[in-house]
């Protein structure tokens, strides 16, 4: 099925007001295209450490909304134009012109699946739910992982670095804290390796259903993997709920710039002798993370590398 796409040309400073105005006449799900640089808060939500230079902000924004082919577009557009004209009477929203085009129907949530197929991380086979395990692989350690809208399939070098460290340090008594859980892959790997219990934290609410689905796919009992949403760096309630001096391993596959404020805080969650396994670190940031680990009173155990990515493992002595 094809969709009708309508593009409103406006100003970046008026984006929010135009989107609210569209919502008032029943248009939802607006797609924003502009050249505004990302804020530090935006970057902290993304798995990107060094952002490429983008084009200079020209102050123009294009807001796309979509209507099904059989929708009464004339009536809807009449309402949109009337609402925009009213808004223009007391606010500068730029041209507020509307261009129409057509686009093919896409399943934006699921069409990434064509690029994700089963693969190995050393001797661990990671398989998405839509693929069958081959007969010759039935005796392998198998993880069924679907990231959905939460990060983490195991394909990225940073995740693989942490998995290899978990293979070294997880025991049957391990209590693991996974900061930035995403799909739950690291916690599930730890449990498959014999860990006793996992607690995961994440800022993104999408991690909750993703972890639940992946636990079910891997026959992980709910009691073995607890999940919570919140910022453990500065939210005392999250810190209290996670608990203090109770984890044998803390895994944090996030950004170097997030590891810096996290490290002195997370030490309080670790037992004596616990391991702190970090990743998501570009090689150019290795020294600053190692320095942060040492300043927090941890002993550097090893630094491992894959491509341009680095994992720093330390211990609380």
CB 306 within 8 A of CB 297: no
pLDDT at res. 46? 42
Token pair recorded at residue 163: 């998995």
Beta bridge partners of 175: 197
Mean pLDDT (10-residue bins), the chain, 317 residues: 85 89 84 70 46 65 87 90 92 93 64 69 85 85 74 80 96 97 94 97 88 93 96 96 97 92 97 96 93 97 94 97
Cα–Cα distance for residue pair 186/190, rounded to 1 Å: 6
Quote the pTM value. Answer: 0.67
User: Under 8 Å CB-to-CB from 250, ≥6 apart: which residues?
Assistant: 176, 177, 178, 179, 266, 269, 270, 274, 275, 276, 277
Token pair recorded at residue 298: 């941890």
Token pair recorded at residue 152: 């983490």
User: Under 8 Å CB-to-CB from 257, ≥6 apart: which residues?
Assistant: 43, 44, 49, 285
């Amino acid at each position: 099925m094809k969709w009708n796409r309508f593009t409103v040309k406006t100003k970046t400073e008026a984006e929010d007001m135009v989107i609210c105005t569209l919502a008032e006449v029943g248009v939802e799900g607006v797609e924003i295209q502009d050249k505004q640089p990302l804020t530090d808060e935006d970057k902290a939500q993304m798995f990107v450490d060094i952002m490429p230079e983008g084009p200079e902000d020209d102050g123009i924004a294009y807001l796309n909304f979509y209507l099904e082919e059989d929708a009464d577009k004339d009536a809807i557009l009449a309402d949109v134009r009337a609402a925009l004209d009213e808004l223009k009477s007391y606010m500068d929203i730029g041209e507020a012109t509307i261009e129409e085009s057509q686009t093919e129907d896409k399943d934006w949530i699921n069409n990434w699946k064509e690029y994700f197929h089963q693969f190995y991380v050393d001797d661990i086979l990671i398989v998405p739910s839509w693929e069958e395990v081959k007969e010759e692989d039935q005796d392998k350690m198998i993880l069924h992982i679907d990231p959905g809208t939460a990060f983490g399939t195991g394909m990225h070098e940073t995740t693989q670095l942490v998995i290899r460290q978990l293979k070294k340090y997880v025991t049957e008594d391990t209590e693991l804290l996974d900061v930035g859980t995403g799909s739950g892959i690291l916690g599930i790997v730890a449990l498959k390796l014999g860990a006793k219990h996992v607690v995961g934290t994440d800022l993104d609410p999408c991690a909750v259903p993703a972890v639940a689905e992946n636990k079910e796919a891997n026959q992980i009992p709910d009691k073995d993997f607890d999940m919570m949403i919140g910022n453990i760096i500065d939210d005392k309630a999250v810190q209290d709920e996670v608990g203090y001096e109770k984890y044998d391993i803390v895994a944090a596959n996030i950004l170097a710039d997030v590891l810096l404020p996290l490290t002195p805080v997370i030490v309080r969650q670790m037992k004596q002798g616990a391991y702190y396994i970090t990743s998501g670190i570009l090689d150019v940031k290795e020294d600053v993370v190692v320095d942060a680990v040492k300043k927090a009173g941890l002993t550097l155990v090893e630094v491992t590398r894959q491509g341009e990515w680095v994992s720093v493992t330390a211990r609380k002595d």
